[in-house]
């Protein structure tokens, strides 16, 4: 899950401790929250209840290995986006992310594809682009106002792109085939620059 989330979100924070989750929540103010019910030092449903009492509006998803009636009943009033019983299949997780994409701000790319700076409209792209192509698209948008070199893309630590130049060129070609040739500009012997319809993305 973390690998997928890091691909499609600008920033992902992760912890297994409830007290640390509260710190992240109030210091970083993330838009979307994924909770496992049982964590090292508590029960996340109590934290979610406190968010509702304090009118803190978040998109909340609960994942759990438990399908007990008590947990399910406790979750009903919490206005969750979804309650996922683990193990969660890849397709189920992508469907959830697609649902989330409709709830947050998105901008338009060529072909009418929606893409927010923090999240991609997965329902439109997961069956069209490969996993690495989606990562590459995210890297290019992240650096939308600059020329990004081949080596910088290949060695991008945040997204762990990790492919050869020849393979990257194939991914670039596939992105151009789908979005249009002018979508990604080649800077000779340097790298690439993305051309977005909306410069404020």
Higher pLDDT, 166 or 116: 166
- In the prediction, which pLDDT does 162 show? 79
- In the prediction, which pLDDT does 118 show? 39
Higher pLDDT, 15 or 135: 15
Which pLDDT tens digit goes with each residue over 39-94?
Answer: 878 788 888 888 888 878 888 898 887 666 566 656 766 778 888 888 888 888 88
Describe the crossing of helices 44-53 and 18-28 by its angle, rounded to 10 degrees. Answer: 30
Please give the C-alpha separations between residue 147 and each of 68, 143, 178, 184, 191, in angstroms, as whole numbers: 52, 8, 21, 11, 7
What mean pLDDT comes out for the span 180-190? Answer: 88
Instruction: Report d(CA 50, CA 187) in Å as an integer.
Output: 51
Evaluate whether 98 touches 121 at the Cβ level (below 8 Å): yes
Evaluate whether 66 touches 37 at the Cβ level (below 8 Å): yes
- Mean pLDDT (the chain) is 78
Architecture of domain 2-101 in this structure: 3-Layer(aba) Sandwich (3.40)
Evaluate whether 129 touches 174 at the Cβ level (below 8 Å): yes
Where in the chain are the domains?
2-101, 107-194
* CATH code given to domain 107-194: 1.10.10.10
Q: Is the pLDDT of residue 24 over 80?
A: yes
Two tokens at 195? 């051309």
Q: Report the predicted TM-score, pTM, of the whole model to 2 decimal places.
A: 0.51
Lowest mean pLDDT across 4-8, 29-33, 56-60, 136-140: 4-8
Instruction: Report d(CA 145, CA 166) in Å as an integer.
Output: 24
DSSP one-letter code for 122:
H
């Amino acid at each position: 899950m973390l690998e997928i989330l890091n691909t499609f979100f600008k920033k992902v924070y992760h912890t297994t401790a409830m007290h640390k989750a509260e710190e992240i929540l109030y210091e970083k103010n993330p838009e979307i929250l994924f909770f496992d019910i049982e964590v090292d030092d508590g029960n996340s449903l109590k934290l979610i209840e406190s968010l509702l009492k304090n009118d803190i509006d978040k998109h909340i998803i609960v994942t759990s290995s438990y399908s007990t009636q008590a947990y399910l009943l406790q979750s009903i009033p919490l206005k969750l986006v979804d309650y996922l019983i683990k193990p969660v299949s890849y397709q189920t997780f992508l469907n959830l992310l697609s649902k989330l994409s409709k709830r947050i701000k998105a901008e338009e790319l060529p072909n009418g594809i929606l893409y927010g700076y923090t999240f991609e409209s997965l329902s439109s792209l997961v069956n069209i682009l490969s996993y690495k192509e989606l990562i590459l698209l995210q890297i290019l948008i992240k650096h939308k106002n600059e020329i990004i070199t081949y080596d910088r893309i290949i060695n991008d630590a945040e997204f762990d792109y990790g492919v050869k130049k020849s393979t990257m060129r194939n991914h670039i070609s596939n992105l151009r085939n789908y979005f249009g040739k002018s979508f990604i500009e080649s800077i000779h012997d340097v790298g690439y620059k993305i051309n977005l319809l909306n410069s404020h993305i």
